[in-house]
A and B are shown apart, each in its own frame.
Chain A
């Protein structure tokens, strides 16, 4: 895959734009209230319409809520969780990585040890444990994802900082009296931003998967608020009677993650043409 803007990558960006717009404007696009239950119209297949309630584009769920509106609202949840958790872990992970790469020595040993430790606990299980202790909530979901995902950024930021910090022009700036925070922000950070963005992109895809997975397990977004994961979890009970409840949110989730992963590969080739699609 080359680094140029091909029709393929344009299509991917287009699909992601649709996802963003749908997520942001969900409340205005949604034809129905995603929480309103009409038990008489439960488990109706896609394109059902009733004179009183109107069209149910993707059908209804087990308590008669409009699936299309819920999937839109689920897009919103995944975007918010993905964006927030990536921001939290990107920021904290980068700071730790910069510190480790700049000070080296014991600071780096300590930070890298902690990175190893956190990476040794599988993120889902760490999430299960944290939710067990703190209870499931939106804030805790962000906290868990931020807590478990920063080491990825730290590793990249550390390795890159280490390389750059020893370059003559950085040492020259240091000797000219520039202070460490200034050097890190003005000289080092812009140089490591590319690789970090690549990590952030693939992590964004992962975070969306995590949000859906944890919500599927009942540990993420709490009902009745819709999430793609929780809709599918409810739908699994009716998989034989109402395939649409699992198929549509699944397609959305799969499609978004696929596009994000493709975008990540493309960015990686642009940032570092030598490192093929890793």
Chain B
């Protein structure tokens, strides 16, 4: 068990390192990153000063070392537009994105997992076909389109829900549904396959031969076995959720980190963009690690085994 966890942590560290390196080189893809950061209309001398100040005149390998060292201290640099530490700017937006992601996850799990189980247990029936259509719609629906349609229908036509901004729980409903739909589809498909897989196994027949109802077998045995593959995918889906927030937050003017990234891009505040990318990627890696650990806790073969 300890070996398993240590291996996973090592893997996560390697991946983190790789992502940091990838972002570092991406930022330098255009040649001179100083030009990205200076305000428009700066003189050649101002540019040279800024280049020196930011260390971009150093050899690449030195820059890389400084970059890693700063990140190790949690320092994402300072926004040249807002004259504030990037980490402070991002931190102020995180709660909003977490709220949105939480709402979306509620939609995704609350609908996706029961739907997946139902599709597997009652396969071939009308219920499965209905749910399959729902899943397919969720999978094929562009979040910004479903978002705008909801704004049009519930906001403009019916006037039930606020169309944008942050006005309590009501304003969280539409963005959560728009963002959660794709993840819901992912959960439903994965759960359906995992449950179908398990339902075909001998232990299900054996448990039924012992007098358990199909419902009891699903609740007591199948659900936990099927959870193992679903949990692994759940982590990936949560990462996608954060990425999807970029679009949904723009549609609903929701002040989370996704909107921040787009606003900063428009304001040429590239260190903030970089900060958001790094932050979301690290969360994504952490989620995957968490999934591996949960996996180890659920599965006695890993928990108890050598």
Contact = CB atoms under 8 A, between A and B. Distances in A.
Contacts of A113: 14-15, 18
20 contacts: A120-B285, A120-B288, A122-B240, A128-B273, A129-B27, A129-B273, A133-B33, A209-B142, A212-B144, A216-B144, A218-B262, A219-B265, A232-B145, A250-B142, A250-B145, A250-B148, A253-B145, A254-B140, A254-B145, A261-B140
B50 interface: no
A147 to B, nearest CB: 9
Contacts, number: 141
B284 A124 contact: no
B148 A122 contact: no
A236 interface: yes
Main SS class of interface, A: helix
The number of chain A residues touching the other chain, given as a range, is 35 or more
A229 B94 CA distance: 27
Interface stretch (B103-111, B166-174, B274-282): B274-282
Most buried by B among A133, A246, A278: A133
Interface in B1-55: 11, 14-15, 18-19, 22-23, 26-27, 29-30, 33, 36
A216 B280 contact: no
Interface of A: 113-114, 116-118, 120-126, 128-134, 205, 209, 212-213, 216-219, 229, 232-233, 235-236, 239-240, 243, 246-247, 250, 253-254, 257-258, 261-262, 276-278
Contacts of B243: 122-125
Contacts of B148: 232, 235-236, 239, 246, 250
Contacts of A129: 23, 26-27, 273-274, 277
Contacts of B145: 232, 246, 250, 253-254
A223 to B, nearest CB: 14
Contacts of B244: 124
B280 A125 contact: yes
A213 B36 contact: no
A120 B291 CA distance: 14
Nearest to B264: A132
B130 to A, nearest CB: 15
Given A250-B145, A278-B193, A121 B262 contact: no
Given A121-B281, A128-B261, A261-B140, 19 more contacts: A116-B11, A116-B18, A120-B288, A121-B23, A121-B277, A121-B280, A121-B284, A122-B243, A129-B23, A129-B27, A129-B277, A132-B265, A133-B27, A216-B247, A217-B250, A235-B148, A240-B156, A243-B152, A257-B140
A258 B251 contact: no
A130 B26 contact: yes
Given A129-B26, A209-B142, A120 B152 contact: no
Given A133-B27, A250-B149, A278-B193, A213 B239 contact: no
